[in-house]
Amino acid sequence: MNRAELHEGDVLTRRYVLKERIATGGMSVIWRAFDRALHRPVAVKVLDVSLDGDDPGRELIRREARATAQLIHPDAIEVYDYGETVTHGGRIAAYLVMRLVEGRSLADRIAEGPLPWREAVKIAAGLAEVLAAAHDRGIVHRDVTPDNVLLAEDGPKLHDFGIAAFVGEDDDQLVADFGTPPYVAPERLRGTTADPAVDVYSLGVLLYEMLTGALPYPETTWEAIEKARRDGPPPTPRVPGLPTAVADLCRECLAADPAARPSARTVATTLSSVLTAAERPPEPRARAAGWVAALGGAVALGSTMWLFPVVEAGGGTGTRPPVTPVLPAVSAPQGAGSAAGHAPPSPAPDGVTRSPEASAPPSAEEEGDAEWSALPQEREPRAEDAAQPARQLRKNGGRDPATPSFSLAATTEAPIIPPALDEAVDLFDRLVDAAEAAGRIDADVALDLRQLLHNAVRNGTGVRDVRDKLESRHREGRMPGPLKQELERVVRKVELALSRAG
């Protein structure tokens, strides 16, 4: 169809007044318009081909209307209406009426260069949420590209469901050659049925491109992709400061095997967790120092520790000036104190030996240092150090979380969870919570899984019971297979974190 056949001021089906052409694509033109019946601005997407012959345009735009009408999500641009009109040239043109969203194309943003990793992750997380909602309704988008993402003030919006299909549908001849080659999953070239994994692959390409400003693979045409051999693991985005969890997830999304890719729900949950962790304020220095003390590392005499809350004899908590912990059976070389120009430490009335340097509080400049910069220096461990009482960080137990207490008793304590393990356990909980909220598992199954994993971490007994429970619940038909695979993947992360912590 000749694009000049529609003009500003034209009225489609006596209702939609065309105001301004705002975008053009290979097969369509998008207009800013006004709905005279409901008195609201809308966007009208007019198919830019004639419907007189065998052109597939009518079926494509109908597909888009049907798919989008079933997807109710704030970050998917919904369709209000479908119609056909006769142009000035006497041709029939199909059109969609959609919600009007102001913004810019993600493609335009990427053209300016790589995005800061937090911005890229936030966009990818939003798109993953939309795709997860679509997949829950059995819809596969199949064309997730920067051109089909609109960056609005309230977040990214996914549109153009023109070649969408329902899960399990064959990749028919109508849309077999449609799509944008660099973002097309390799299995689509084999004519497989529609599967959510193809959208996850496209999202992985999009995330990689946002982070690096380049595509993960050089092939940009159908012919090049068909000839390409992608041996070895997918590429990893190399970006300064990028959390390892994001780089690993991006690589998993690009896996050649669809079964090895995470679900869109897992992508959304993981990326959201990373953003939450990145926005969390730094923990107090006392907690960082407590970590080192709890690890049992021997410290050099004379190293200054920061202010520690302690348990008083009467059971309450109080504070003491910074002290140098005294390790049993450890002595400094004779004359070391005088050679350095310092007096040897002297016992205080409370029985704790203090270093002369420890009496001054840290300066403002020191307080601004990185958490680990002012921690005690390490020395070679000695056998007699085993007698040193462990100092472990307790749960705050109703006290001010900024001033946790430390136990000086060598009793059995709950183990301190390293950050990587903490994040893995949190991800497991989030996935279980999301599955319960979506009705994918019952409440008793969710509670059982959470308790099993937390007990395994607390007792250090390993994750075998968790794996067995996932298998049995799946076998009983109380857990979908894809969810089982997602949780098993996270359990593996917990297992690796436990082995590193041990």
Which architecture, in CATH terms, is 3-99? 2-Layer Sandwich (3.30)
- What pLDDT, on the 0 to 100 scale, is given for residue 406? 35
- Count of CB atoms within 10 A of residue 431's CB? 24
- Count of CB atoms within 10 A of residue 119's CB? 14
- Count of CB atoms within 10 A of residue 143's CB? 22
Tokens of 479: 């857990």
How many whole angstroms separate alpha carbon 425 and alpha carbon 255? 24
Higher pLDDT, 180 or 320: 180
Per-residue confidence band for 171, with pLDDT thresholds at 50, 70 and 90: low
In the three-class reduction of DSSP (H, G, I as helix; E, B as strand; rest coil), residue 152 is classed as strand
| Percent above pLDDT 70 for the chain | 66
Beta strands 92-99 and 40-47, pairing class = antiparallel
Helix or strand (DSSP H, E) at 206: helix 197-212
Cβ-Cβ contacts under 8 Å for 239 (sequence gap 6 or more): 114, 117, 211, 212, 247
User: What is the average pLDDT value for the chain, to the nearest integer?
Assistant: 74
pLDDT in tens, 349-382: 444 444 444 444 444 333 433 333 333 333 444 4
Strand runs labelled E in 258-340: 309-311, 317-319
Cβ-Cβ contacts under 8 Å for 430 (sequence gap 6 or more): 269, 272, 273
Nearest to 424 by CA among 481, 499, 371: 499
CATH number attached to the domain at 104-279: 1.10.510.10
- What pLDDT, on the 0 to 100 scale, is given for residue 151? 96
pLDDT in tens, 32-62: 999 999 999 999 999 876 555 555 667 777 7
How many whole angstroms separate alpha carbon 19 and alpha carbon 41? 10
Tokens of 8: 């500003």
Contact 75, 129 (CB under 8 A): yes
- What pLDDT, on the 0 to 100 scale, is given for residue 87? 76
- What pLDDT, on the 0 to 100 scale, is given for residue 403? 38
Helix or strand (DSSP H, E) at 452: helix 443-459
Q: Which residues pair with 392 in a beta bridge?
A: 407
Residue 383 reports pLDDT greater than 80: no
Tokens of 104: 């810019």
Q: Tell me the HSE value of 79 on the side-chain side, using a 13 A CA sphere.
A: 22
Contact 229, 204 (CB under 8 A): no
35 an active-site residue? no
- Stretch 103-109: mean pLDDT, rounded? 94
How many whole angstroms separate alpha carbon 67 and alpha carbon 25? 20
How many whole angstroms separate alpha carbon 437 and alpha carbon 305? 46
- What pLDDT, on the 0 to 100 scale, is given for residue 89? 72
- Where are the domains positioned within the chain? 3-99, 104-279, 297-412, 419-501
How many whole angstroms separate alpha carbon 5 and alpha carbon 207? 39
In the three-class reduction of DSSP (H, G, I as helix; E, B as strand; rest coil), residue 23 is classed as strand
Which range scores top for mean pLDDT: 6-20, 24-38, 47-61, 410-424? 6-20
Exactly one of 48, 75, 81, 143 is catalytic; name it: 143
